Amino acid sequence: MASDLTDLYQEILLEHNRRPRNFRALDDATHQADGFNPLCGDQISLQLKVGDGQVYDVGFQGHGCAISRASASLLTQAVKGASSGEAMAMFEEFHRMLTEPDAELDYDLLGDLEMLAGVIAYPTRIKCAILAWHTFKAAMDGASVATTE
Ligand code: ZN
């Protein structure tokens, strides 16, 4: 919900919600997973093209609240072109950012993902922000379904 996005990055996040990046199906996906956050009703379908330890392309579709969409959009920008190892490190760091208030974070690794740091103040929205990442991890692990529950 827009009213929850009270931090510095509200405008950018709302713009990602309005015009999500890489919001499309891939023709040549090698990995895919569907994610669901029953708490909020967010649903996302994520497709990846992965090979040689590299995330070549990523696309997502689905529907959900502003935070879930903005997070999925930011995820696609972050992992596209990254190595699989870097992408999984981003997952770990993003998870820490939203679950460990006093964690010392690697902001170089997080990049634009830091814009969602304010979500930690809204416990009911953390699952909205993290859904895309659980779905990404499921896809990378070869699973087809992810849930935040
Ligand atoms: Zn949500």
Measured CA to CA in angstroms, residue 67 lies from 6, 49, 83, 90 at distances of: 12, 25, 25, 18
Query: Can you give the CATH number for the domain in which 88 is found?
Result: 3.90.1010.10
Per-residue pLDDT reduced to its tens digit, 83-116: 999 999 999 999 999 999 999 999 999 999 999 9
The domain in which residue 83 lies consists of: 2-147
Which residue type, as a one-letter code, is found at position 30? T
Please tell me the total count of domains within the chain: 1
Instruction: For residue 127, report the distance from its CA to the centre of ligand 1, in Å.
Output: 7
Per-residue pLDDT reduced to its tens digit, 10-64: 888 889 999 999 999 999 999 999 999 999 999 999 999 999 999 999 999 999 9
pLDDT greater than 50 at residue 2: no
| Contact call for residues 144 and 138 (beta carbons, < 8 A) | yes
Instruction: For residue 64, report the distance from its CA to the centre of ligand 1, in Å.
Output: 6
For the CA atoms of 1, 48, 76, 85, the dihedral, rounded to the nearest 10 degrees, stands at 120
- 46 forms beta bridges with 33, 60
Q: Computed from CA positions of residues 82, 128, 65, 106, in that sequence, does the dihedral angle turn out positive or negative?
A: negative
pLDDT at 12: 87
CA distance 108 to 124: 27
CA distance 44 to 36: 7
Model pTM score: 0.92
Number of H helices, E strands in the chain: 5, 4
Per-chain residues with Cβ under 5 A from ion ligand 1: 40, 42, 65, 68, 128
**Chain position carrying tokens 């895309």:** 132
| Contact call for residues 20 and 72 (beta carbons, < 8 A) | yes
CA atoms within 13 A on the CB side of 29: 19
CA distance 39 to 31: 26
Instruction: For residue 95, report the distance from its CA to the centre of ligand 1, in Å.
Output: 16
Q: Which two tokens stand for residue 117?
A: 């740091």
Instruction: For residue 51, report the distance from its CA to the centre of ligand 1, in Å.
Output: 31
